Amino acid sequence: MNYDELTKKAVEMTNISYAPYSHFHVGAALLDKNGKIWTGCNIENAAYGPSNCAERTAIFKAVSEGIRDFEAIAIVGGAENSEGKPVIEDFCPPCGVCRQVLSEFCGRDFKIILSDKKGTQKIFTLTELLPESFSLK
């Protein structure tokens, strides 16, 4: 499958992320089994703990609407330039907390698509990024 549209949506989300503390903007686009795309961005908080990653934002939006079957997620991220705009340079894999949340709602063959500044994609299964996970699926 071609994940270019999913990656494009993730890139768009970096532009609306709220990252006044880390200045690192992340966007995610989650594809459900019905073909709908759910988007998310990172949302920071001065206390850090209440912050939320882009991947979890997308998952929680979908789950809160009753969706529980997912196929893939595209994730991109990068630091701000001097104008405060996100610049995607390298691949931006999900953190450990996001990997665990994905494992709660996604099957072992769920695809995680990472893209760099050249548009090169790396595609992993959830099992590859979180082997031997603690999960119901």
> Which residues are part of the catalytic machinery?
55
HEC per residue, 51-96: CECHHHHHHHHHHHCCCCCEEEEEEEEEEECCCCCECCCCCCCCCH
Dist. CA 64–CA 56, nearest whole Å: 12
Count of Cβ atoms closer than 10 Å to residue 46 Cβ: 8
